[in-house]
Amino acid sequence: MVKLKFVFATLLLAFSMQAAAAAQVSNKHIFVLYPGVDSVFGSYIFMVQNPGEQPERLSFPVMLPTETIDFQAQEGLAPNELNLGADGGLTIDKTFPPGDTLITIGFKVPANLGTGNMTIKAGEAFESLGMFVFEGQFQITGPNLDIRRNVDFSGRTYDTYTLMKGEAGQTYQLGLQGIPEGRGRLWIIGWVAGLALLVIAVALAWFSRPKIPQGAEDAI
């Protein structure tokens, strides 16, 4: 995993160079996504570039899916530098040294019955958000996705899904399909089967009840 992060860092550096006088978040972002049971785990990787000669403090929102149910500061961040913002989103508040700083944040989004969602809110414009999924593990759907299959990258094969030219303030809805399922579907099938058996039992009891002779009804 460490080697993989280094390779993605090199990729970001190669394509995220910007002429800037102040520290800023690079305009290219990467999600590396792994399937769990009724969930998807991810590593969010991006660069902060400080072209100056002095450390500079930045505070900015993190572009994680709004469905995120768990997160963890990983490379480039101390736990106290990643905080919940007033709107419920995550915010980084950190002093960045001169040069390029790789940031990695682990996260988890839920899935149910093999499907899930990722809602991406762009706090700032971005050039691209590339999502790397191990080949054939699951699929990502959504508008304006550049999809490529069987991409060989650092000795592994991925399916890649890329959002291009993200606009500040825009929301992007993505779907996840083919996620490994837990017992949720079995519970639903069990409840439906139980309800069906109950209906059948009531119907049988009703139609098999003893019939009162017509004369007996008059006597009663």
What pairs with residue 172 in β-bridges? 120
Asked if 128 and 171 sit in the same domain, the reply is yes
Asked if 149 and 194 sit in the same domain, the reply is no
Asked if 198 and 132 sit in the same domain, the reply is no
What is the reported pLDDT for 192? 45
Task: Indicate which CATH number applies to the domain containing 130.
Answer: 2.60.40
Q: Is the pLDDT of residue 61 over 70?
A: yes
Asked if 57 and 11 sit in the same domain, the reply is yes
Is residue 131 helix, strand or coil? strand
Higher pLDDT: 191 or 5? It is 5
Q: Of 131, 58, 163, nearest to 101 (Cα)?
A: 58
Split into its structural domains, the chain has a count of: 2
Asked if 19 and 98 sit in the same domain, the reply is yes
Is residue 49 within 8 Å of residue 89, measured between CB atoms?
A: no
Q: Is the pLDDT of residue 8 over 80?
A: no
Higher pLDDT: 94 or 10? It is 94
Asked if 202 and 144 sit in the same domain, the reply is no
Chain segment 107-161, per-residue pLDDT in tens = 999 999 899 999 999 988 999 999 999 888 899 999 889 999 988 877 888 999 9
Asked if 91 and 191 sit in the same domain, the reply is no
Asked if 102 and 189 sit in the same domain, the reply is no
Q: Of 124, 110, 126, nearest to 28 (Cα)?
A: 126
Chain segment 86-105, per-residue pLDDT in tens = 666 889 999 999 999 999 99
Asked if 46 and 142 sit in the same domain, the reply is yes
Chain segment 189-218, per-residue pLDDT in tens = 444 445 544 555 555 555 565 655 555 555
Residues of the domain holding 210: 185-219
Query: Considering the entire predicted model, what is its pTM?
Result: 0.75
What is the reported pLDDT for 123? 85
Chain segment 163-193, per-residue pLDDT in tens = 999 999 899 999 999 999 875 444 444 444 4
What is the reported pLDDT for 29? 95
What is the reported pLDDT for 153? 79
Asked if 198 and 160 sit in the same domain, the reply is no
Asked if 135 and 207 sit in the same domain, the reply is no
User: In sequence order, which residues have a C-beta less than 8 Å from that of residue 165 and are 6 or more positions away?
Assistant: 125, 127, 128
Asked if 12 and 94 sit in the same domain, the reply is yes
Structure tokens that stand for 36 in this block: 């769990």
Round the average pLDDT of the chain to a whole number and report it: 81
Structure tokens that stand for 160 in this block: 């890649």
What is the reported pLDDT for 207? 58
